[in-house]
Amino acid sequence: MKFWGYRRAEGRAGIRNHVLILPSCVCGSESARIVASQVRGAVNIVFNTGCSDVQANTDMSQKVLTGFACNPNVYGVVIIGLGCETVGHRELREKIQKMTSKPVVSFGIQEEGGTLKTIEKAVRAAREMAAEAAMQPKELFDISNLLLGIECGGSDATSGLASNPAVGELSDLLVDMGASTMMSESIEWIGGEHVVAKRAATPEIHNQIIEVCRAYEEHLKAAGQDCRAGQPTPGNKKGGLSTLDEKSLGCIRKGGTRPIVEVLEQAQRPTKNGAMVMDTAGFDISSVTSMVAGGCNAIIFTTGRGTPTGNAIVPVLKVTANERTFKMMDDNMDVDLSPIIRGEKTFREMGKEMLKDIEDMCNGRMTKAETYGFSDIAVDHVCRFV
């Protein structure tokens, strides 16, 4: 399988060619939005932090900002900062420039003399970049260039029965073709972590997976919280999930069965090809944010109840096996997997069929969330604000 994408000087090929308008802190977010709205080909993110934060959170924010800038779907970056944020626009730009040779420019609202002057300069810079980006020809790449993030959210009983196993099958087929996939949401491995660990390519990776779950439980315990309290929920039980193990086993099916070659921290860029896992929250928007910062080209997102979420940098392909959700939320759902629940097709058959959806998406077909220009983001807080 091959796709038409954009060559990058470093790393994997892009499947989109966005100019990213990147605020270095919350105070640059509104200007970034206005700049992106003025330039076709530009996308922006809304960043809600970057100031008055503890070091651990600043480190996390920086990983997300630099990771977004380096994502292969990004052609070039226009940074908008304020001037007194924790990590200024210049410093952020220099960091990004050490990681990638793609075009990066930056402006500070205080030194430019206010919003309008900054926006004017940033629009001019973004316009030049977008014009250049539009000239870049697409090239034919092997599917091994693809890094697909796998996410679930708004789950129901059909998720573990049909859409997650089907996406797991898709993941196995892609990995067998040389592509890479990434499953995250480590808190949702708990109860099934021994099964995730069985997929480890080495004993070291096996132990890393177990330790990630132990550390997550201990982190919450230190804050007086118990992640097992009330799991499965009364609603889960009524819906047919009898134990935490059953719930987690349904969740982790979306990652497939191939050997796990790397365990990544949040927003960390992989060094290997194949099936990988990332230690993120179960909060879907935060998990997608971290996987995109880690370099995923696209996200496949299983849902039961339905969700509209989208990301500015990568397409998010929404799949559901709940027939009612697919019909009711036609505006948001991309792929109908309900034939599995009706017994008309197996999850393996539908996993294989989704290869075509992946190929089309890589070749430029927009997902529903992408056509709406959705740009959800949530940066995980390792510690409270100060």
Partner 1 sequence: MTINALLLDEKDNVVTCVKEVKAGEEVVYQAEAGIKTVTAMEDIPYCHKVALVDLCEGDKAIKYGEMIGQVSHAVAKGCWVNENNIFSVPRDYDSELV
Whose Cβ is closer to partner 1: residue 158's or residue 289's?
158
Q: Name the segment binding partner 1 (CB under 8 A); options: 133-141, 244-252, 327-335, 352-360.
A: 244-252
Closest CA to 380 of 216, 137, 236: 216
Binds partner 1 by CB under 8 A, chosen from 14, 50, 250, 256: 250
Q: How many helices (H) and strands (E) does the chain have?
A: 16, 13
Q: Name the DSSP class of 313.
A: S
Q: Which of 194, 269, 305, 381 binds partner 1 (CB under 8 A)?
A: 194
Q: Is 258 in the site for partner 1 (CB under 8 A)?
A: no
Residue 354, phi then psi, degrees to nearest 5? -70, -15
Give me the amino acid identity at 98: K
Per the DSSP assignment, residues forming a β-bridge with 142 are: 2
One of 51, 195, 366, 382 touching partner 1 (CB under 8 A) = 195
Nearest to 106 by CA among 44, 41, 22: 22
Which residue of 34, 46, 244, 355 would you call a contact of partner 1, by CB under 8 A?
244
92, 142, 209, 210, 219 from 215: Cα distances, Å: 30, 38, 10, 9, 6
Stretch that binds partner 1, among 57-65, 114-122, 131-139, 190-198 (CB under 8 A): 190-198
Cβ proximity to partner 1, 225 vs 242, nearer residue: 242
Single out the residue of 192, 270, 282, 294 in contact with partner 1 (rule: CB under 8 A): 192
Give the span between the Cα atoms of 293 and 44, in whole angstroms: 14
Nearest distance from residue 149's CB to partner 1, in Å? 22
Beta bridge partners of 181: 148, 275
Contact between 233 and partner 1 per CB under 8 A: no
Single out the residue of 37, 242, 363, 371 in contact with partner 1 (rule: CB under 8 A): 242
Q: By CB under 8 A, tell whether 203 contacts partner 1.
A: yes
Q: How far is the CB of 260 from partner 1 (least distance, A)?
A: 14
> Of 55 and 242, which has the nearer Cβ to partner 1?
242
Integer Cα distance of 237 and 231 in angstroms: 9
Among 54-62, 92-100, 325-333, 336-344, which window interacts with partner 1 (CB under 8 A)?
A: 336-344
Name the phi and psi angles at 315, rounded to 5. -70, 140
Q: Which of these, 71, 150, 156, lies nearest to 358 by C-alpha position? A: 150
Alpha-carbon gap, residue 180 to 251, rounded angstroms: 19
**Residue 323 found at the interface with partner 1 (CB under 8 A):** no
**Residue 147, helix vs strand vs coil:** strand
Binding mask 125-164 for partner 1 (x = CB under 8 A): --------------------------------xx--xx--
Minimum distance between the CB of residue 358 and partner 1, rounded to whole angstroms?
23
277: closest CA among 378, 164, 290? 290
Residue of 246, 353, 357, 359 interacting with partner 1 (CB under 8 A): 246
In angstroms, what is the minimal distance from the CB of 291 to partner 1? 24
Q: Using the minimum distance from each CB to partner 1, give the nearer residue, 149 or 191.
A: 191
Q: Contact 94/24 with Cβ under 8 angstroms?
A: no
Which among 104, 106, 130 is positioned nearest to 118, based on CA atoms?
A: 106
Dist CA 170 CA 48 (whole Å): 35
Q: How far is the CB of 222 from partner 1 (least distance, A)?
A: 16
Q: Kindly list the residues in this chain that would bind partner 1 in the complex (CB under 8 A).
A: 157-158, 161-162, 165, 191-195, 197, 203, 206-207, 210-211, 213-214, 232, 237, 239-240, 242-246, 249-250, 253, 340-343, 346
